[in-house]
């Protein structure tokens, strides 16, 4: 009997990377076939190992660089290409913006296939590091071993320490390991100091870290939020209640970091990390922080959704407000409203704001935020947008003059798109974190609406993510 031989990998030699594709990939063309390549930039010449190989396209990753692109710069983070974040650190920021602008145009043209006005120049960020107001860390008993470390230890016949107690980020594509992080450049200090201090404190006192695969252990996750007001929130997630250990840890954190304004803990015995069906407990402070966007204040609780880049969010909301072309007489529907931040931000130029959001806690925050800002013409409703936004709902609250929609990455449900076509509001402002699904929805709206303005906004420097705002008006 002939044994099955392992299939040899397909390796393409000296491939010139020609252009940017999407989702952080670049592309090359060989005899008409498109090759999508991870971890490469236009101008690189690489040997590519394929892991997908179809008739017209393939995907691969570089195993050898013959020449680096002249556009490359030195990444600033020691964890670059290991933790899975900030995939574009090797590109100058101005080049990142060019590729992101192209990504929006490609998606709207290729997927939407509709007539488009000229895109406005992308709005870049003034600060490209330390811009996140929220970061989530994971504590675990297994760490991801980078290739370089694995090879080095193998060559020297040294033991590889994978088991232990580690703090960092989930390893991309590996559910039970974390990338051990020394310094992340996404959030200002003391975010790294807090994570490292907690890691060392729990190791010192033999407090068990969470085993993600076997669902055992105590120290599980941590969320750190920072506001431009100077307020800090830390929420530590624990696998089970142990009062003595918990108080010991939390007292240490408060003593070590007295500038924390709200310290919470959440007991999470579940098999997943989501805390939306759990109740965070306030150990110190008021249990929330306050943020400012423009002239408005916002309460941010542990479970609140809030734009992760505060300074870029203010630019995004100003664009949304301008695209809405408000005069003060309009009834505005804010769909997928979250904690009401967009609706509240545009409220001073409206007659009435109607907000709809699926998460009840977010609606509670929206109502608190409206009250905090002494706004009385906002009305927020919890529930599925598709189910709530029926004929009776619009008849009850008034005909929409402007609809602002800011859906999740999956875009709008087709039933909602059809409902928007029925409502025929004069103006729709579509805010999207995924131009691909936005393009799909714009194509569905094209029978009744024309796209009149397009404004990309970079919310996440050094990543391939891009926000895009589109203004649509009823066809005449």
Structural domains of the chain sorted by starting position, each given as residue range(s) with its CATH number in brackets: 11-72 (2.40.50.140), 97-127+309-474 (3.40.50.150), 134-293 (2.40.50.1070)
Size (the chain), residues: 476
Residues 6+ apart with CB under 8 A from 233: 223, 224, 225, 226, 260, 261, 262, 263, 264, 285, 288, 289, 300, 302
pLDDT of residue 150: 66
When the pLDDT of each residue in the chain is averaged and rounded to a whole number, the result is 93
23 pLDDT above the threshold of 80: no
H helix count then E strand count, the chain: 11, 22
Q: Tell which residue, 34, 171, 26, 196, has the closest CA to residue 96.
A: 26
* CA–CA dist 384, 419 (Å, integer): 14
Which residues does the annotation mark as catalytic? Answer: 433
pLDDT score, position 182: 94
- Three-class SS state of 220: strand
Per residue in 140-183, pLDDT (tens digit) is 999 998 766 666 666 666 666 678 999 999 988 888 899 999 99
Tens of pLDDT, residues 305-354: 899 999 999 999 999 999 999 999 999 999 999 999 999 999 999 999 99
Give the pLDDT mean for 252-265. 98
């Amino acid at each position: 009997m002939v044994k099955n031989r392992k299939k040899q990998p397909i390796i393409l030699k000296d491939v010139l990377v020609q252009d940017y594709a999407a989702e952080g990939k670049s592309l090359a063309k060989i005899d008409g076939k498109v090759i999508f390549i991870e971890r490469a930039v236009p101008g690189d010449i690489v040997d590519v190992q394929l892991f997908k190989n179809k008739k017209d396209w393939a995907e691969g990753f570089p195993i050898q660089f013959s020449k680096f692109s002249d556009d490359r710069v030195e990444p600033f983070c020691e964890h670059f290409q290991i933790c899975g974040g900030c995939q574009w650190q090797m590109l100058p920021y101005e080049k990142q913006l060019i590729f992101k602008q192209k990504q929006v145009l490609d998606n709207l043209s290729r997927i939407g296939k509709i007539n488009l006005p000229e895109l406005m120049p992308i709005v870049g960020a003034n600060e490209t590091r330390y811009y996140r107001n929220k970061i989530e860390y994971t504590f675990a008993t297994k760490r991801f071993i980078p290739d370089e470390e694995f090879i080095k230890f193998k060559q020297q016949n040294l033991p590889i320490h994978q088991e232990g107690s580690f703090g960092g980020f989930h390893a991309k594509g590996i559910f039970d390991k974390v990338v051990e992080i020394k310094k992340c450049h996404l959030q200002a200090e003391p975010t790294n100091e807090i994570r490292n201090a907690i890691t060392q404190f729990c190791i010192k006192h033999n407090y068990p870290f969470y085993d993600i695969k076997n669902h055992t252990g105590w120290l599980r996750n941590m969320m750190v939020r920072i506001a431009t007001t100077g307020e800090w929130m830390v929420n530590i997630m624990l696998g089970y209640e142990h009062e003595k250990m918990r108080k010991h840890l939390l007292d240490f954190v408060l003593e070590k970091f007295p500038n924390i304004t709200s310290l919470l803990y959440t007991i999470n015995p579940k098999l997943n990390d989501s805390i939306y069906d759990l109740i965070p407990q306030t150990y110190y402070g008021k249990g929330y922080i306050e943020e400012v966007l423009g002239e408005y204040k916002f309460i941010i609780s542990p479970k609140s959704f809030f734009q992760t880049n505060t300074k870029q969010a203010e630019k995004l909301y100003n664009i949304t407000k301008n695209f809405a072309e408000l005069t003060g007489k309009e009834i505005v529907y804010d769909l997928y409203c979250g904690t009401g931040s967009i609706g509240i931000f545009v409220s001073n130029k409206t007659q009435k704001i109607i907000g709809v959001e699926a998460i009840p806690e977010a609606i509670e925050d929206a109502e608190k935020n409206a009250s905090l800002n002494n706004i009385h013409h906002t009305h927020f409703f919890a529930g599925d947008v598709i189910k709530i936004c029926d004929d009776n709902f619009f008849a009850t609250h008034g005909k929409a003059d402007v609809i602002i929609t800011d859906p999740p990455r999956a875009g709008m449900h087709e039933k909602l798109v059809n409902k928007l076509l029925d409502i025929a509001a004069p103006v729709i402002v579509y805010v999207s974190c995924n131009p691909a699904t936005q393009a799909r929805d714009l194509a569905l709206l094209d029978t009744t609406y024309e796209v009149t303005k397009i404004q990309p906004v970079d919310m996440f420097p050094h990543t391939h993510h891009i926000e895009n705002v589109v203004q649509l008006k009823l066809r005449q």
